[in-house]
Amino acid sequence: MQNYNEVLKYTEQVLDIIEKAEVTKEEAAWIAKETVDGFRENVNPGFLEYRKSVTKDTQFASVEWKDSGRNCFVDVHGKEYIDCLGGFGIYNVGHSHPKVVKAVTDQMAKQPLHSQDLLDPLRAMLAKTLGMLTPGDLKYCFFGNSGTEAVEAALKMAKIYHSEEGRSTFIATTRAFHGKSLGALSGTAKGVFRKPFMPLVNGFRHVAFGDIEMMRKTMAACHMVGEDVAAVLLEPIQGEGGVIIPPDDYLKQVRELCDEYGALLILDEVQTGMGRTGKMFCAEHYGVVPDIIALAKAFGGGVMPASATVASEKVFKHLFDNPFLHTTTFGGNPLACAAALATINVLIEENLPQRAAEMGDYLIAGLRDAMKGHEDKVLEIRGKGLLIGIEFVNDEIGYEVAKGFFDNGILTAGTLINAKTVRIEPPLTIEKEQCDKVCETFAKVLKEMNKEAVVQG
Ligand SMILES: *Cc1c(COP(=O)(O)O)cnc(C)c1O
């Protein structure tokens, strides 16, 4: 018999905490303990090892508590961090942007979720907005809750578009990341993520990212053996793969190749979209219009989970006859749509794509300055807009730097197992002074590593 009284008491206690903006020292200690215990006993103890490894003196990771301004957050003990990880790219408009929060809370007070039967207005208005915002003839929208779902929908759209002809081959690229559901994972490239779950969806080939000749040969070979390619699935700049920027003419050549063979081009802009790289969509840097674009992460303004798969009418019309061929209960809910509408408004009103371009140039220049004399440790600093990667000589050095950043109140994306390239992906609202602090800290951490090496040697 479960003890409902115990459940009742515990949830009351947690609801009390949720209600509070500030906590006492005792409450903070309780929260930290419950969090670590909960992860160990009921979430996944693996996370504790993984986060522990990043923090000072291998103590357990900080327990986060609330946002602090647009570009920072504070942990439960009151320590502030500049957020250079940006939730892997969800905070483009900054943390808790008041306009996004207001849209969501206003909608929340009226009707948080939709009836599922009547026509919900915000879905229509967001779709219209995206039709205006996305390049070329992209027009019809399917809404989901995550990047994975956006990619999954794109793959299904490509399949149904080609269903008469029976094409079901997809070309993806090495080092790609498209999510971890069985369909999206088939496009994802990392062996460790894929291998335990084989066999995945049939028909996926992977070619080297940026290598147009390999893609051309694969496309031709697929055609010759009667397995014509339904679609090419591509990130315009690879995010998780370590901020890999392809040759300038690559995307355009892929577009031409797709047209030559009647394949669709799916651009996964889950991470590069919504202003991150210095344009609203990264494809605009290269003057390319995809047949399908996948958006998520920053699409919900860092307030709501939200994703969109936007396609041209030529592609999407195959779902007109039966719109129930692909649906999800929560996708396109009023709270998510309110958040996305406010996010798009803010991106334009505050000119954030351009700000990303400018601050990105500033930050990259500063980081390059800071690495001078440390070429034995840092291989390269690259990026577009505020999607920046620092590539180290090896994982160990990258990990030491990520740890140094963390100890100095700057959160970056670098972990014990994956730190050869540390990603810097702050909110597009990051201030110049905060960029300066990041660069100063980078220089300081690199210098201290020299000293330690001397002492150890
Ligand atoms: C993060 C990411 C995804 C997966 O998004 P989720 O919201 O985590 O499901 C897909 N594609 C790209 C390019 C991403 O960066």
Looking at residue 76, its pLDDT comes to 87
Q: Which atom of ligand 1 is nearest to the CA of 271?
A: 15
Report how far ligand 1's centroid is from the alpha carbon of 275 (Å). Answer: 16
Mutate to test the pocket of ligand 1, among 277, 297, 330, 387 (most ligand atoms within 8 A of CB): 297
| pLDDT score recorded for residue 456 | 55
* DSSP letter for each residue of 111-174: -SS--SSSPPHHHHHHHHHHHHHSSTTEEEEEEESSHHHHHHHHHHHHHHHTTTTT--EEEEET
List the domain range (segments joined by +) for residue 200. 98-349
The pLDDT value recorded for residue 56 is 57
Instruction: Determine, yes or no, domain membership for 60.
Output: yes
Q: Do residues 249 and 282 touch, judged by C-beta distance below 8 A? A: no
Query: 187 near 151, Cβ under 8 Å?
Result: yes
CA 81–ligand 1 middle distance (angstroms):
24
DSSP three-state, residue 84: coil
CA of residue 326 to ligand 1 center, whole Å: 19
Does residue 44 sit within a domain? yes
Q: Please tell me the predicted confidence (pLDDT) of residue 457.
A: 47
Q: How far is the CA of 263 from the centre of ligand 1 (A)?
A: 23
Least confident of 297-311, 405-419, 425-439: 405-419
What's the confidence (pLDDT) of residue 60?
Answer: 58
82/221 same-domain check: no
Give residue-wise pLDDT tens across range 389-431.
Answer: 999 999 899 989 998 999 999 999 876 567 899 999 999 999 9
Instruction: Tell whether ligand 1 has an atom less than 6 A from the beta carbon of residue 152.
Output: no
Residue 379 sits in the same domain as residue 256: no
Asked whether 268 lines ligand 1 (CB < 6 A), one says yes
Asked whether residue 105 falls in the same domain as residue 144, the answer is: yes
381 lies in the same domain as 436: yes
* 57 domain-assigned: yes
Count of structural domains, the chain? 2
Would 430 be classed as within a structural domain?
Answer: yes
Q: Is 178 in the pocket of ligand 1 (CB under 6 A)?
A: yes
Percent of the chain with pLDDT over 90: 86
Cα(147) to centroid of ligand 1, in Å?
4
pLDDT for 307: 98
Mean pLDDT of 434-454: 90
Q: Is the pLDDT of residue 86 over 90?
A: no
Residue 145 lies in a domain: yes
Q: Name the least confident of 36-45, 61-70, 213-222, 419-428.
A: 61-70
**The pLDDT of residue 47:** 85
Do 34 and 106 belong together in one domain?
no
Q: What is the pLDDT of residues 231-240, one digit of tens each?
A: 999 999 999 9
Is 252 part of a structural domain of the chain?
Answer: yes
300 plus 364 within the same structural domain: no
Alpha-carbon gap, residue 444 to 447, rounded angstroms: 5
Q: Which numbered atom of ligand 1 lies nearest the CA of 145? A: 7
Q: Is the pLDDT assigned to residue 360 strictly greater than 50?
A: yes
pLDDT tens-place string over residues 323-338: 999 999 999 999 999 9
Examine the domain organization and report whether 187 and 312 are in the same domain: yes
**Greater pLDDT, 48 or 229:** 229
Name the residue of 234, 240, 272, 274 to mutate for ligand 1: max ligand atoms within 8 A of Cβ.
240
pLDDT-derived band of residue 63, with 50, 70 and 90 as boundaries?
Answer: confident
Based on the fold, state whether residues 204 and 229 are members of the same structural domain. Answer: yes
Residue 364 has pLDDT above 70, yes or no: yes
Residue nearest to atom 5 of ligand 1 (CA): 147
pLDDT at 341 over 80: yes
pLDDT beyond 60 at 109: yes
Q: What is the mean pLDDT of residues 366-379?
A: 97
Has residue 22 been placed in a domain?
A: no
CATH code at position 400:
3.90.1150.10
CA distance 445 to 441: 6
Considering the domain architecture, whether residues 33 and 112 belong to the same structural domain is answered as no
Q: Do 343 and 244 share a domain, yes or no?
A: yes
CA of 270 to the centre of ligand 1 (A): 6
Distance CA 457, CA 454 (A): 5
Q: What is the mean pLDDT of residues 271-285?
A: 98
CATH number at residue 243: 3.40.640.10
- Among residues 319, 349, 379, which one ends one of the domains? 349
| Gap between the Cα atoms of 331 and 143, Å rounded | 5
User: In ligand 1, which atom is closest to the CA atom of 181?
Assistant: 9
Q: Which ligand 1 atom sits nearest the alpha carbon of residue 176? A: 13
Rounded-to-integer distance, Cα 85 and Cα 67, Å: 14
Tell me, in angstroms, the distance from the centre of ligand 1 to residue 304's CA. Answer: 15
298 inside domain:
yes
pLDDT, position 415: 64
When pLDDT is cut at 50, 70 and 90, the band that residue 62 belongs to is: confident
User: pLDDT-based confidence at 57, cuts 50/70/90?
Assistant: low
pLDDT at 451 over 80: no
Asked if 106 and 209 sit in the same domain, the reply is yes
Lowest mean per-residue pLDDT among 21-35, 54-68, 153-167, 386-400:
54-68
Q: Which residue has the higher pLDDT, 42 or 2?
A: 42
* 235 within ligand 1 shell (Cβ under 6 A): yes
Residue of 145, 175, 177, 266 to test ligand 1 pocket, by largest number of atoms within 8 Å of CB: 177
For residues 84 and 151, membership in a common domain is answered with: no
Q: What is the mean pLDDT of residues 436-455?
A: 88
Closest ligand 1 atom, residue 149 Cα? 9
Name the domain boundary from 349, 376, 409: 349
Question: Residue 264 C-alpha to ligand 1 middle, in angstroms?
Answer: 20
Q: Is the CB of 296 under 6 A from ligand 1?
A: yes
Average predicted confidence (pLDDT) for the chain:
94
Note the Cα 359 to chain centre separation in Å. 19
Given 307, 334, 349, the domain boundary residue is 349
